[in-house]
Structure 1
Amino acid sequence: MATSTTDPKLGAPKLDRPELQAGGGTATAAAEARKLEYLNTTLTKYLKSIYDDVHTRYALGTKEGRSKWLLEEQQSPEADGELLQDGTFSHFSNYFMSESSSVLKTVLPVDESYPISNYFISSSHNTYLTGNQLSSESSVDAYKNVLLRGCRCVEIDVWDGEPPSSSSSEDEAASAGIPKVKKEKPELSIRKRLELRFGRKGSPPKEENSSHSQQSPPGDDKIALWRSNSSYRAEPRVLHGYTLTKDTPFRAVCATIRDYAFVTSNLPVIVSLEVHTSPEQQDIMVEIMTEYWKGMLVDLDPSQHSDSLELPKLKDMKNKILVKVKYTPPKPTTQVQPATLQAPAEPVKPIASASTTSSSSEDVPETEKKPSAPKPKITEALSRLGVYTRAYHFKSLDQPEATIPTHVFSLSEKALMEVHETQGPALFKHNKNFFMRAYPKGLRLNSSNLNPSVFWRAGVQIVALNWQRWDGGMMQNEGMFAGTNGWVLKPEGYRSSSKEETQKTAILHHNMDLSIEFLAGQDIPMPPEEDDPKDFKPYVKVELHVEKHEELEGEPIPGGGKSKAPEYKKKTKTQRTPNPDFGKEILKFEGIRRVTEELTFVRFKVMDDQRLSDDLAAWACFRLDRLQPGIRMLHLYDSNGVITKGVLFVRIRKIVSVAK
């Protein structure tokens, strides 16, 4: 798959051990990634000095001394003392080469006893894309990649398949594994290419000649084409509509989700459907999903589909796929007409411009919508799959659907910020009980991300991010979900069982003093553009992402929730080697107010000092309550989000007190 040559933050999914790539879940669960094979001379020098001091003050030769040091300075469990054994320097070193010395605190198993709306969920936006929003490829590998990295909510934009023809038969054969013979084509303008791609979407299929109708394409039956008794029928495809993104078969996407949804976790996966298909193609969608996800879909008697259906507990949804799709109320039985897959489809007219790239447009408030052709109505058969995640068009928090337990509202970042400013307390109250999804605005053509912590602090469960891009948004997503199974229980005041009514009172706010002493670094990865260690000039930038005053008061938030530079940031002096000696340099953040430990993030960025623009070399991001104090190894991801053997050797002091 192609990667962007102009934007280093964009890249194709990593297929080699994706569980070691950050994102939002299981990457840090790979124990071997948190172990060191050796300690270089600079780290050993500092470690020997620390050992002499600790041994003198705590008598590490005794079990009581080892336990006291772990409790008082490391704030670690007594069980870690087993690594120290007899307290010699050799075993002291073994402790720091193990995952027990990691800055990241071990995450306890999630409490699964709450309704599913009581959790933050690691979520992806336009999951099928491998790069930017306009011209990148769609790929089933993207679904495999994010699911193995802990993502628990994926998105599928589904469009009508091309009608069978000589050319589309070649495409079908290619999807089934038959090499496609390349033909010379005249160069077409973007306008013409868009017309050819979308101009006849939804048109009825043509009959194939006898030579086509009597043959079946060979290949893996997992992605075999749907067929009638007499001819091939186009199947739905997945792509970003009205752009030049390359499509991929809907059937292949469903097969990939089936195969990888529960490899790393048995907690449920939400599939957010953005449906642009005709009724006939929707019937095929239902057929494919029920075939491939058999036993995974929630199975309820139709009589249970009522507005009073309560959300289940997380523990009751294990190994289940929840389909988020727009709700269509059932018609009276006497009016239901059986659908036929051979009936001609109603054509879906394309909009006039190719610039509309926003996802989930049916959920955008009227004030933000741009004129476009009406979307196809969702059939009852497809709508019935959305049992606990029924999508409704959002008008206001006062609309009748806002009290239905199973409803989901999806809003763009801009629309959600407007609701936050005008109905802050109502928004918070709504999100304690019901699902809400936030997604990046359509103008983020380079797949950049919103600032997710702003929306988490408003109680939004599903903050969909572009996993195709490495930026502050995705780094915070890793900080929220690192080491988890992609579902994180909200703070107590954010849950449906709490009586707290506002974001301001829902969680304790603290004052904090944070001190980070940098001792040394080992094997720090260099930026992709740098290949000579002698030219690598690293420094570490530390950023705090703290709740702003405007968030608490329901005022307009600076930047509108965009991923902007944080208010608090400091950096070390520049070094000149991948194995730097920082000389015990200390960065201090004193008297920081409005700190909520569960919703504040600390980000470390190792930058390459350049004359014009500094390049990102490595990074790490932690939720404040998981940032362990003491003498620690801070393990680094490279600029493409892959865990490395690079570490920073640091001493962290953190004092948190209740704000008065």
Structure 2
Amino acid sequence: MMFTDPSSTGIQSDPSVQLMIGGSTLRKVKSRSWKKQRHFRLLEDGLTIWYKSRWTGKGHSTFSVMEVEAVREGHQSEVLLSVADEFPADLCFTLVFHGRQGTLDLVAESPEEARAWIQGVRTLIHKAQSMDEQERQDQWVRDWFQKADKNKDGKMNFKEVKKLLKMMNVDMNEDHALHLFTFVHFYKMLTQRDEVWKVFQDYSEDGERLMLDELETFLRVEQHEGDRSPTRARELMERHEPSETAKKQGAMSLDGFQTYLCSQDGSVFSPQRQELHQDMSRALSSYFISSSHNTYLLEDQLRGQSSVEAYIQALKRGCRCVEVDCWDGSDGEPVVYHGHTLTSKILFRDIISTLKEYAFRASDFPVIVSLENHCGVEQQTVMAKHLKDILGDMLLTTPLNGQVPQQLPSPQELRGKILLKAKKIGGLEECLDESLTDEVSDEEETANGEADSPSTEDLPTEKDKKKSKLSRELSDLVVYCKSVHFHGFEHARSHTKCYEMSSFSESKTKKLIKDTATELVQYNTRQLSRIYPSGLRTDSSNYNPQDMWNVGCQIVALNFQTAGLEMDLNDGLFRQNGGCGYVLKPDFLRDPGTQFSPDKPEERPDYNPLRLSIQVLSGQQLPKVNQKEGSIVDPLVRVEVYGVPQDQAKEETSHINNNGFNPVWNESLSFVVHAPELALVRFVVEDYDKASRNDFIGQLTLPFSCIQTGYRHIHLLSKDGTPIPPSSLFVNISISKFA
């Protein structure tokens, strides 16, 4: 049995790709002392890069171009910067992988070879990203063929086919497998979807095609797109029907219908909500802001590596508030690391250079630099100089109109600007009064430390508190985010200015939510508040941010380097609105007179509970979690709702034995959502294990308000939050008023 020749992708004619197929000896660099030659080449599938340490022997590694997010030229990593004196920039490049997979630093033997690999990989990435759903499906099938074709002769015997089925999470008896032992039957088995065919049959009069009026009826009745179904039907037909003949006849085939359902048009996540669509002209305090804690860390808080790469990854994920812990460096240059721990150190100026380069790649809305300042006055002045010299006009150093603000400016007004959050001598009102002392009061000193340390060792001593000095140059760079100590809600109402903000530990915030939730909601309509994880979280674990969003806290800082539920929720909330890092809070969290309490959503004037019903139909091409030969997953689906306390709920299907390829559940789950404006819905797939904890397979989290009803596909993400195509769930969703 032959499989499709991958050269039909048309990219092999590219000279750079041709060089990659021929192969190159590149130097893989891990540190100044670890630099080893490896032979790299692109395999014939046009998507897999293979490399090994020696020309003979069996040891080799591979990775897919689809795992590569970007290629950086020159000395754009700490490792390559450390060997800059040995290898010129025009020989060096870095492959950056999606999620938390890290980077691969390489050095070519000539500038021409480096350029070819840089251009070639970029060409392949572009090709992979521009694939439509059918091409992704074909590539997925091709990838499995490559894995199963052990002798690489382009053919598979029956033994290899049986092994392939196991690898693909398919459990099938030998007679059935033998019956399918032709490419056509095999391919149809891989792509045929009975549950889609049944939906198609319900609306197709002849069972062979959907005419335009039948597709309109389907969109109106099932997909709840009645307002625009006539034009929408024609648009979807043009976009997804592969047959030109069918298009001319005003018809959609089963293939076209399935392609539509698997596309972004058929996604559970509304494409319109994924685009930038919210009002961005409100005060900063009106938005949830994607925020990172200990941004410099790639791992845990005790021994982990500090790296500018961590800032790059956070910023590229849309993070709009990063943290910088600054300490005096031994040579007069401030350094950043987690104080009194074994975490590695990086130069403050390198972080600021990274900000200049990457701050506005994912979004041009403002970035807040939350400064944890442990430096003496002299190196604070050095910090101020670096901020001004490196960032230039990007750094906001004066109020927008030269006036003391009565409310915070908007993200729209601050586009392209970097704001410093730190202590400030006096306020904006007196910032030009030279008679002010450079000493900071005890109150302000407390605000600076923010009790953000893992132990009492980091807290200022009494002696430090009595005479702590702040550099005037650094102070003058703080405009709209002056750190102040929180003295209670009454004091804040009568004394605090809109440009003053406080930070709260997760435990302090939880106490405020329990005792004075409504007052905290009101406070957050006027002020920015930053929430940070407990200092006891030395493993860089995270708290659940939903509790803080429920009371309108804007800057809810999480450890971006730690995968899990909490980062899934953060990614889910900020995936909407163009992934710009700012999400407009609901009306009842922005009204200064609000009486909203998360514990009593039914008491708000516009209370409108909704029922969410989800029919979990099937799963498609779920990834293996146990790589043991013959191991096949037993998948189940759990739907979790996060929001106000009354809305926290979980429901799950039964598990399907030995089928990760095309499991069918056809089970219904139901929820009542009392505050839909705040709710997030998380779809999780796990491999059931009766003896131990279930293994994670994939998930997708999205705001309740972004759900498209009807027959939808849920495109699953890995633990790192990166796509794992073509893995998906097929569901039918309805939302109705809860009487």
TM-score (norm 2): 0.66
The separation in 1 between residues aligned to 2:326 and 2:344, in whole angstroms, is: 13
2:329 alignment partner AA: G
Choose the corresponding residue for 2:670, options 589, 592, 598: 589
The separation in 2 between residues aligned to 1:19 and 1:313, in whole angstroms, is: 34
Compute the displacement of 1:491 (Å).
Answer: 0.8
- 2:506 maps to what in 1? 413
Compute the displacement of 1:44 (Å).
Answer: 2.2
- 2:38 maps to what in 1? none
Q: Which moved more, 1:100-109 or 1:462-471?
A: 100-109
Q: Secondary structure of 2:677's partner?
A: helix
What aligned pairs does 1:241-252 form with structure 2 within 5 A after superposition? Answer: 241-252=339-350
1:249 alignment partner AA: L
Choose the corresponding residue for 1:392, options 481, 484, 498: 484
Q: Which deviations, in whole Å up to 9, do the C-alpha atoms of 1:40-69 show, x marking residues without a partner?
A: 646522222211112249997443432332
- 2:137 maps to what in 1? 38
- 2:212 maps to what in 1? 63
Compute the displacement of 1:91 (Å).
Answer: 2.1
Could you say what the CA RMSD is over the residues aligned between the two structures, in angstroms? 3.4
Compute the displacement of 1:490 (Å).
Answer: 0.8
- Contact preservation (8 Å) 2:340, 2:458: no
Are residue 105 (structure 1) and residue 203 (structure 2) matched?
Answer: no
- 2:698 maps to what in 1? 618
What aligned pairs does 1:267-416 form with structure 2 within 5 A after superposition? Answer: 267-300=365-398, 304=402, 306=404, 308-329=405-426, 335=435, 361-362=449-450, 372-373=460-461, 374=464, 376-400=468-492, 403-416=496-509
1:50 alignment partner AA: V
Choose the corresponding residue for 1:548, options 613, 622, 645: 645
Distance 1:546 1:425, change over 3 A: closer
Choose the corresponding residue for 1:645, options 714, 719, 725: 725
- 1:133 maps to what in 2? 301
1:542 alignment partner AA: V
What aligned pairs does 1:472-621 form with structure 2 within 5 A after superposition? Answer: 472-483=565-576, 484-496=579-591, 499-503=593-597, 504=601, 505=603, 508-527=606-625, 530-532=627-629, 534-549=631-646, 566-584=648-666, 586-590=667-671, 592=672, 595-610=674-689, 611-621=691-701
- 2:236 maps to what in 1? 83
Compute the displacement of 1:102 (Å).
Answer: 0.9
Instruction: Quote the sequence identity (%).
Output: 29
Q: Which moved more, 1:107-116 or 1:648-657?
A: 648-657
The separation in 2 between residues aligned to 1:466 and 1:423, in whole angstroms, is: 27
Compute the displacement of 1:392 (Å).
Answer: 0.7
1:44 alignment partner AA: R
Compute the displacement of 1:494 (Å).
Answer: 1.6
- Contact preservation (8 Å) 2:619, 2:663: yes
1:273 alignment partner AA: L
2:265 alignment partner AA: S
Distance 1:618 1:299, change over 3 A: same
Compute the displacement of 1:589 (Å).
Answer: 1.9
The separation in 2 between residues aligned to 1:321 and 1:575, in whole angstroms, is: 53
Compute the displacement of 1:160 (Å).
Answer: 0.8
Q: Which deviations, in whole Å up to 9, do the C-alpha atoms of 1:183-215 show, x marking residues without a partner?
A: xxxxxxxxxxxxxxxxxxxxxxxxxxxxxxxxx
The separation in 2 between residues aligned to 1:403 and 1:58, in whole angstroms, is: 69
1:537 alignment partner AA: D
- 1:217 maps to what in 2? none
1:382 alignment partner AA: L
- Contact preservation (8 Å) 1:58, 1:68: no
Distance 1:334 1:454, change over 3 A: closer
1:629 alignment partner AA: T
- 2:203 maps to what in 1? 54
Q: Which deviations, in whole Å up to 9, do the C-alpha atoms of 1:265-306 show, x marking residues without a partner?
A: 111111111111111110010111111111111242799575
What aligned pairs does 1:453-468 form with structure 2 within 5 A after superposition? Answer: 453-468=546-561
TM-score (norm 1): 0.73
Compute the displacement of 1:521 (Å).
Answer: 2.1
The separation in 1 between residues aligned to 2:562 and 2:706, in whole angstroms, is: 24
Distance 1:236 1:598, change over 3 A: same
Compute the displacement of 1:70 (Å).
Answer: 1.8
Distance 1:461 1:506, change over 3 A: farther
- 2:166 maps to what in 1? none
Q: Secondary structure of 1:598's partner?
A: coil
The separation in 2 between residues aligned to 1:600 and 1:295, in whole angstroms, is: 39
Q: Secondary structure of 1:129's partner?
A: coil
The separation in 1 between residues aligned to 2:738 and 2:606, in whole angstroms, is: 7
2:640 alignment partner AA: E
The separation in 2 between residues aligned to 1:523 and 1:41, in whole angstroms, is: 9
Distance 1:409 1:255, change over 3 A: same
The separation in 2 between residues aligned to 1:271 and 1:47, in whole angstroms, is: 49
Compute the displacement of 1:622 (Å).
Answer: 1.5
- Contact preservation (8 Å) 2:396, 2:418: yes
Distance 1:51 1:470, change over 3 A: same
Distance 1:129 1:80, change over 3 A: farther
Distance 1:489 1:371, change over 3 A: closer
Q: Which deviations, in whole Å up to 9, do the C-alpha atoms of 1:158-196 show, x marking residues without a partner?
A: 11112x4xxxxxxxxxxxxxxxxxxxxxxxxxxxxxxxx
- 1:633 maps to what in 2? 713
Gaps of 5+ in 1: 3-13, 24-29, 165-233, 340-357, 552-565
Aligned residues: 531
- Contact preservation (8 Å) 2:334, 2:382: yes
Q: Which moved more, 1:88-97 or 1:625-634?
A: 88-97
- Contact preservation (8 Å) 1:264, 1:485: yes
- 1:558 maps to what in 2? none
- Contact preservation (8 Å) 1:628, 1:652: no
Distance 1:494 1:533, change over 3 A: farther
The separation in 2 between residues aligned to 1:473 and 1:404, in whole angstroms, is: 32
- Contact preservation (8 Å) 1:20, 1:643: no
Q: Determine which structure has the larger helix proportion and give its number.
A: 2
Are residue 449 (structure 1) and residue 525 (structure 2) matched?
Answer: no
- Contact preservation (8 Å) 1:59, 1:66: no
The separation in 2 between residues aligned to 1:101 and 1:399, in whole angstroms, is: 51
2:562 alignment partner AA: R
- Contact preservation (8 Å) 2:279, 2:584: yes
Larger radius of gyration: 2
Distance 1:481 1:441, change over 3 A: same
